[in-house]
């Protein structure tokens, strides 16, 4: 519940209300939709049984063969967490202001839920990624490291059929320093393009996504105990999966002895990587 009617009266009821637009411009980037496969069905969990990897035998022609036993393993990704936020918007806050304050608040709340889902999914995927890589000293902030890091990361996933889906790298905003300098120091046409267009969205065929500092965090996020401070994420697009049944949802409720409505926004979420594909995601440690 906000404090309209007290000391914030003069700033809330102004004719030109710019805060909502400003906040939209300052929002943090959401990347999970771009790098994951998303399931928004009503399922509590997805199941993906898989068989063991067969290995063919090469031998001289003999007209005979041996029969191998095989096994199946059930692999599931479950909806485990819920991201929530709620406020009460009084009737006079909606009707007496000269802007649609209620719509603005709902927009901000739904974004907060979407970002909470993004935070959970990124850290969950990083935790379960099977690939690992330690950067050279200085990490992404040292321009000379960038080509070496990208080459080493790509080598970890090349040769798999899934790489045709595209590669991605998620870094934090502080890492951009090294990337921009590396781009400007590259060959003529690439550097010229970087000078004209600013920070480019890809490097050596890898799509770059930038999130804010501390997105990769060591903290408790719902049921997840994340240990990702100083980490970044690389891999093949569409390999990781996250579940978001019905996406972000909103409810309006009448509250006794209060005008207006209580508005609750929430989203259920689960994330993971199917076991046979975990090596296609790489947990990067900054050195």
Q: Which of 156, 194, 190 is nearest to 279 (CA)?
A: 156
Residue 6 has a pLDDT of 38
108 close to 23: Cβ distance less than 8 angstroms: yes
> Does the pLDDT value for residue 22 go beyond 80?
no
The model's pTM is 0.81
Q: What is the mean pLDDT of residues 114-126?
A: 94
Q: Does domain 23-48+72-285 match CATH 3.90.1690.10?
A: yes
Cβ(256)–Cβ(50) below 8 Å? no
Is the pLDDT score of 4 beyond 50? no
Over the stretch 149-194, which tens digit does the pLDDT of each residue have?
Answer: 999 999 999 998 888 899 999 999 999 999 888 888 776 555 555 5
Rounded (10°) CA dihedral 189, 190, 195, 196: 70
pLDDT mean across residues, the chain = 84
| pLDDT average, residue stretch 248-261 | 84
Q: What CA dihedral angle connects 271, 273, 279 and 280, to 10 degrees?
A: -80
Predicted confidence at residue 121, as pLDDT, reads 95
pLDDT at 158: 92
Angstrom distance (rounded) from CA 152 to CA 32: 23
Packing angle, helices 176-184 and 188-197, rounded to 10: 130
User: Which of 150-154, 194-198, 263-267 is the least confident region?
Assistant: 194-198
How high is the pLDDT of residue 214? 94
For 185-206, what is the mean pLDDT? 66
The domain limits of the chain are: 23-48+72-285
The residue among 283, 260, 245, 240 whose CA lies nearest residue 95 is 260
Contact status, residue 128 vs residue 99, Cβ threshold 8 Å: no
List C-alpha distances in Å: 115 to 29, 32, 91, 111, 120.
Answer: 8, 10, 28, 6, 9
With 90 as the cut, is the pLDDT of residue 260 above it?
no
Looking up tokens 């068989």, which residue turns up?
Answer: 51
Q: What is the pLDDT of residue 102?
A: 67
């Amino acid at each position: 519940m906000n404090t309209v009617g007290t000391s914030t009266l003069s700033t809330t009821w102004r004719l030109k209300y710019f805060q909502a637009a400003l906040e939209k411009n300052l929002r943090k980037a959401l990347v999970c939709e771009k790098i994951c496969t998303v399931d928004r069905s009503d399922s509590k969990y997805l199941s993906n049984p898989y068989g063991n990897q067969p290995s063919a035998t090469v031998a001289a022609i003999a007209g005979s063969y041996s029969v191998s036993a095989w096994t199946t393993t059930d692999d599931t990704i479950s909806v485990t967490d819920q991201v929530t936020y709620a406020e009460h918007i009084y009737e006079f806050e909606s009707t007496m202001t000269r802007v649609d304050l209620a719509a603005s608040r709902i927009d901000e709340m739904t974004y907060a839920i979407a970002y909470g889902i993004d935070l959970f999914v990124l850290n969950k995927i990083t935790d379960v990624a099977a690939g690992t890589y330690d950067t050279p000293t200085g990490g992404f902030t040292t321009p000379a490291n960038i080509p070496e890091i990208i080459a080493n990361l790509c080598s970890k996933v090349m040769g798999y059929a899934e790489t045709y889906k595209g590669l991605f790298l998620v870094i934090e905003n502080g890492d951009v320093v090294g990337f921009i300098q590396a781009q400007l120091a590259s060959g003529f046409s690439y550097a010229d393009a970087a000078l004209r267009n600013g920070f480019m969205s890809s490097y050596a065929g890898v799509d770059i996504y930038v999130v804010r500092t501390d997105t990769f965090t060591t903290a408790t996020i719902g049921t997840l105990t994340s240990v990702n401070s100083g980490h970044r994420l690389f891999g093949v697009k569409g390999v990781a999966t996250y579940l978001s049944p019905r996406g972000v949802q909103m409810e309006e409720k009448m509250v006794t002895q209060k005008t207006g409505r209580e508005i609750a926004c929430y989203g259920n979420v689960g994330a993971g990587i199917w076991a046979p594909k975990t090596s296609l995601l790489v947990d990067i440690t900054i050195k």
